Structure 1
Amino acid sequence: MVRDLRRHPVESLLLLVAVIAASGTLTVGLSLGDVADQPYQQTRRATAGPDAVARPRATGEEALAALAPLTTAPGVADHSGPFPVAFLDLTAGGRTAHAVVEGRDTAPARLDRPAVVDGGWVRPGGVVVERAFADALGVGPGDTVSVAGHPLRVAGTAVTAARVAYPYAGWHFPGSELAQRGGLVWVDRGDLAALAGAEPLSYTLNLRVTGTLDGVLDGAPGLTVLTSARIAEADARTVAQAREALLVGSWLLTALAMAGVAGIVAGRVAGRRRQVGLLKAVGAGPAAVAVVHLAGYLVIGLAGAAAGLLAGLAAGPALIQPSAGLLDVVDPAAPSTRTVLAVTALAVAIAVAAALVPVVRAATTSTVHALADTATPPRRSRWRIGLSRLLPVSLLIGVRVNARRPRRARLVVLNTLITTTALVAVLMNNAREDHFDVGGADLVDPRAQRVDQAMLVITVVLCVLALVNAVVTTWTAVLDAGRPLALTRALGATPGQAGLGLAMAQLLPALPGAVAGIPAGLGLFLVASRGEVQYPSGVLLSAVALGVPLAGAALTAVPAIVLARRPVADTLRSG
């Protein structure tokens, strides 16, 4: 097995790349939840985040009266506030958005001390903008914004764990429980009353709880309480759809990797039937032959799983940042047991599932048949022979090549189907028009940004893996078709007809895969998407449907023409 891997390094490397691509993408998808949770916990520790935040539905003195019992309730170890809050509008750069405006003191509080990441903290006449909200507005320290018509200088940007980051900061009309999209800003407590004007003030209270919240909330009706767990869950929604996209993409890549591995295995087994016959001739039984071949694929599969796991863990935080509303300190998360087992099982399944049938078939082939190394004889029938007489020479050669290797033709169909399906889903995502209203302005949707990042990752890996599969299929087809093409030329075919015929052998099975991939991609996106769906133009869909098969045929045409120009006598003599 070791000697076999050393003698065929290119095949082993291609197989390793296929397994790494699938296992790495699956790792990113599975570990994204852990990576997303890590920044919130770090932000909570850095900002003395509370265990719970209480917000009354009432306003003014009634709101303060509702919060007062909580400060001395059993189980409450510490608190900060109440801090006044007004639900106003903020204008920056001609765009107006909802803003939850919280009045704070210049001195740090015991609980919920927002971490300033740029600039300084609140001061009279200044405003501090939550960082994700500031990024969406395109503002920073030194810029001027307008809060409820009052111009304020941006003193800095900060993050907090006491309220959900933009765009789910909890903006609502006073007295209403229906939350709308908006961002969070902090101002000096003394400035808030002037900014709010006639708008009634609400309040928020941060709590450190030693026991359960049930006992704390007894006798405190009319309050909305957000726990730190619920805030963390809401912040994680920013990457939820991106995680789903990565998981779906990883399964598509898994199928594509299996097709590629099957093509590599088919090429290895087809080229080593004589080796199998020699092993059996010197005494190796079918079980020994099967174990020797499968062991090589398992070694490559496990090595690919380890490399893909490390690559996925390292790339996860860099590829998809959880939220600008949290601290940036993100270390590659240690893989969970579930992730390690899933990636290992995937890699082993790819290697075994793709290699099992051809390896067992080769191991159980008779010694004489293996030494003869004959291909699958075409099934002859009168109607097929009659139809073949009407075909051009190049097309006839392509049909015969596929008839000799039907399994390879099916792999081309599968490879084209999966590639087209994923590309159509990417086109559907790019055709989406996001209307993200945050109170009169269309700002950036952070969820859409994360989905776009995930789709970019999937697209790049998919194109690389599809190219690897196309190269493998071309390589095995050209190697296997050497003698048949030489015989065809001996019977009168020109080098151009022979080379074009091999390209047609790749194009013919790719066409039905591309045609089926268009509705499959549309259906996949419709099932996985949420909200309004936009369809790409027919020109783009047609370009994908034609471009994928033609790209495979073009990759085959160049080496096929080179092979076809080799002297017939040399090819037959080498055989």
Structure 2
Amino acid sequence: MAGRLLLVCRLLVRDLRRRHTETVLLLAAITAATATLTLGLTLNEIAGRPYQQTRAATAGPDVIVTPMATGQAALDELASLTTAAGVTDHSGPFPIAYLTMTAGGRSAHAVVEGRDAAPVSIDRPAVTDGTWVRPGGVVVERAFADALGIRIGDMVGVGGHPLRVIGTAVTAARATYPYAGWHYPNDILVERGGLVWVDRGDIATLAGSQPLSYTLNLKLADPAASTAYVVGPHLATWQQIGDVNGRLYRDARVVLLVGSWLLSGLALAGVAGIVAGRIIGQRRRVGLLKAVGAGPAMIAAVHLAEYLVIGLAAAATGLAAGWFAAPVLIRPSAGLIGSVNAQPPALRTVITVTALALTIAVAATLVPVVRAAATSTVHALADAATPPRRRRWRIWLSRRLPTALLIGVRINARRPRRARLVTVNTLITTTALVATLMGNTQVVRFDLGYTELANPRVERGEKALLVLTVALCILALINAVVSTWTAVLDARQPLAVARTLGATPGQAGVGLALAQLLPAIPGVTAGIPAGIGLYLAVGNGQIQYPSGAWLVATALAVLLAVAALTAIPALAAARRPVADTLRSAPT
């Protein structure tokens, strides 16, 4: 047993040393899928850290109560809550008015909160620029100010009254822009809006005839006990506010999770193609091992060990890449302080990512490894491909095909599994590109009552989609190169025989390129409806479809890319001297 294990380890180290390029490609293919999955799984946890940091820095409340009643009725309703069981401290009630703020010619919903200049024990907004409230001035929540392009010293209108912006601040008592909770008085329908603070003495003037609402901040002996409160239109807990802030990252998380499965499919196809090429190059070694007494289990162990080691390395690399990339790719809202500092992934994330990497490695290698282990010693030493199954109608049809097309069809008939991998590769690539095209076609209207502003949730989703699209295109490119390399490696002798029978180097090269292009056509054709269906499955709201011209252009672009990637190496392989190729063939 020890001797067999030593032999497996020696062969493993030898293969990894001699096949650097293929090992790197295997590692890159699986790492792309594991890194994206790591980002998707940890996005919610990472995105919640800035809110926790903001809550600690601003003495955030555990429960925030804003009754539907206004005026004295609201004050009476809040009075008894300050002495309720479990409440250890409170701040407020603070007057609230739901008004319109005008800045730079644009008007938006603004939740206007009246505050005192003196600090309080609960909910102390952290001033990030300028100063805190004073008469005649307004402090704007930082994310809201960024969306409207407001700077310190600008003049804005609040409820029709001019005020100068004297500062920007952040708080944990309300969700960041655009989820500040704006609504009409006595109406439970909440709309998008931003938060501003003014001097308590100014708010009655700003509200005019509108009755004032009030908000009360409570601190509990056990912050986790806030989950016992019934969350509704007049009450919010710190957990709910954290969840609302997490909506900004929901689209990005969906994109990354869906993309990780698309990348897993591409990685599976790519790894299978690389493994097929390596098995082709190792057929004679399989025969030699069998000749010296190695059984099928030993042959399978020799091959699988290499790919399992690469899979584990790719899992570790993907976890590390996702860990370090998260702070760069995930920008926290300007309405929060702190950062998405990298922390070790959770144990469940490590297990899930490792399982994905090993699944890709095993699923892609199991079939060729089992076939290699089951191959007879004589056949393995002969290093010959299994001849295609002959059918009369196929022979009749092939005799009427042009020479280049005939060569391409025969190459795929000898290796149908490789042709199916090309179909899978183009199918997933086209699906991802069409889904991206669908997303870019949508017209997202995001208004705060009167003004259309940039949607921070969509912006984060688009950024994640861009990263995913680049990763998908790179991996698809690698797969196409690997598929061509495998085809060139396997078709050397058949192409040489075809040339001895009269085929020109150009016909042989075009035939090899057609062998890659023919199975790509059904993949591209099926990828268009698959991409539309994928977007319909994960999208929401009113769906708009791209024009047929854009869909056709996407399909043609994929086919042209496949043709370009395969033509050059195919023509180069076809120009190799026939005598050299046949001389290197096994006898």
Q: TM-score, normalised by structure 1?
A: 0.97
8 Å contact kept, 1:238–1:322: no
Q: CA deviation at 1:377?
A: 0.9
Aligned to 1:357: 367
Q: Could you give the per-residue CA deviations for residues 124-146 of structure 1, whole angstroms, max 9, x where no partner exists? A: 22211112211211112222221
Q: Could you give the per-residue CA deviations for residues 362-408 of structure 1, whole angstroms, max 9, x where no partner exists? A: 01111001011111212212211111122111111110110111110
Aligned to 2:4: none
Aligned to 1:43: 54
Which of 134, 140, 163 is the matching residue for 1:129?
Answer: 140
- Residue 100 of structure 2 aligns to a residue whose secondary structure is strand
1:503 and 2:513 correspond: yes
Amino acid at match of 2:538: A
Amino acid at match of 2:261: W
Q: Could you give the per-residue CA deviations for residues 87-134 of structure 1, whole angstroms, max 9, x where no partner exists? A: 000111211110000011122221111112222222222211112211
Which of 163, 169, 192 is the matching residue for 2:203?
Answer: 192
Q: What CA distance in whole angstroms lies between the structure 2 residues aligned with 1:323 and 1:288? A: 55
Q: CA deviation at 1:38?
A: 1.1
Q: What CA distance in whole angstroms lies between the structure 2 residues aligned with 1:469 and 1:458? A: 16
8 Å contact kept, 1:53–1:207: yes
Q: How many corresponding residue pairs?
A: 572
Name stretches of at least 5 consecutive residues in structure 2 with no aligned partner.
1-11
Amino acid at match of 1:390: R
1:230 and 2:261 correspond: no
Q: What CA distance in whole angstroms lies between the structure 2 residues aligned with 1:223 and 1:463? A: 45
Q: CA deviation at 1:222?
A: 11
Q: What CA distance in whole angstroms lies between the structure 2 residues aligned with 1:214 and 1:168? A: 20
C-alpha RMSD of matched pairs (Å)? 1.6
Amino acid at match of 1:457: V
Amino acid at match of 1:433: V
Q: What CA distance in whole angstroms lies between the structure 1 residues aligned with 2:248 and 2:332? A: 7
Amino acid at match of 1:63: A
Aligned to 2:9: none
Aligned to 1:151: 162
Which of 70, 85, 91 is the matching residue for 1:80?
Answer: 91
Which of 15, 31, 38 is the matching residue for 1:27?
Answer: 38
Q: What CA distance in whole angstroms lies between the structure 2 residues aligned with 1:17 and 1:216? A: 49
- Residue 269 of structure 1 aligns to a residue whose secondary structure is helix
Aligned to 1:434: 444
8 Å contact kept, 1:73–1:216: no
Q: CA deviation at 1:214?
A: 9.3
Which of 467, 484, 500 is the matching residue for 1:474?
Answer: 484
Amino acid at match of 2:212: L
8 Å contact kept, 2:47–2:330: no
1:348 and 2:348 correspond: no
1:146-185 paired onto structure 2 within 5 Å: 146-185=157-196
1:288 and 2:320 correspond: no
1:3 and 2:7 correspond: no
8 Å contact kept, 1:127–1:187: yes
8 Å contact kept, 1:43–1:327: yes
8 Å contact kept, 2:273–2:483: yes
Aligned to 1:405: 415
- Residue 154 of structure 1 aligns to a residue whose secondary structure is strand
Aligned to 1:277: 287
Q: Could you give the per-residue CA deviations for residues 270-321 of structure 1, whole angstroms, max 9, x where no partner exists? A: 1211111011112211111110110000110000100100110111232122
Q: What CA distance in whole angstroms lies between the structure 2 residues aligned with 1:190 and 1:376? A: 89
- Residue 162 of structure 1 aligns to a residue whose secondary structure is coil
Q: What CA distance in whole angstroms lies between the structure 2 residues aligned with 1:44 and 1:300? A: 43
8 Å contact kept, 1:71–1:79: yes
Of stretches 30-39 and 314-323 in structure 1, the one that deviates more from structure 2 is 314-323
- Residue 122 of structure 1 aligns to a residue whose secondary structure is coil
8 Å contact kept, 1:393–1:493: yes
Which of 79, 82, 96 is the matching residue for 1:71?
Answer: 82
- Provide closer, same or farther for how the CA distance between residues 29 and 524 of structure 1 changes in structure 2, counting only shifts above 3 A: same
Aligned to 1:103: 114
Q: Could you give the per-residue CA deviations for residues 445-467 of structure 1, whole angstroms, max 9, x where no partner exists? A: 11111110111111011011111
Q: What CA distance in whole angstroms lies between the structure 2 residues aligned with 1:144 and 1:283? A: 88
1:374 and 2:381 correspond: no
Q: What CA distance in whole angstroms lies between the structure 2 residues aligned with 1:377 and 1:189? A: 88
Q: What CA distance in whole angstroms lies between the structure 2 residues aligned with 1:347 and 1:130? A: 44
Name stretches of at least 5 consecutive residues in structure 1 with no aligned partner.
none
Amino acid at match of 2:376: S
1:203 and 2:193 correspond: no
Aligned to 2:100: 89
Aligned to 1:520: 530
Which of 142, 151, 165 is the matching residue for 2:153?
Answer: 142
Q: CA deviation at 1:264?
A: 0.5
8 Å contact kept, 2:227–2:237: no
Amino acid at match of 1:187: V
- Residue 66 of structure 2 aligns to a residue whose secondary structure is strand
Amino acid at match of 2:142: R
- Residue 129 of structure 1 aligns to a residue whose secondary structure is strand
Amino acid at match of 1:455: L
Q: CA deviation at 1:346?
A: 0.4
- Residue 88 of structure 2 aligns to a residue whose secondary structure is strand
8 Å contact kept, 1:236–1:322: no
Of stretches 90-99 and 544-553 in structure 1, the one that deviates more from structure 2 is 544-553
Q: TM-score, normalised by structure 2?
A: 0.95
Aligned to 1:239: 249
Q: What CA distance in whole angstroms lies between the structure 2 residues aligned with 1:325 and 1:438? A: 17
Q: What CA distance in whole angstroms lies between the structure 2 residues aligned with 1:354 and 1:537? A: 37
Q: What CA distance in whole angstroms lies between the structure 1 residues aligned with 2:35 and 2:461? A: 18
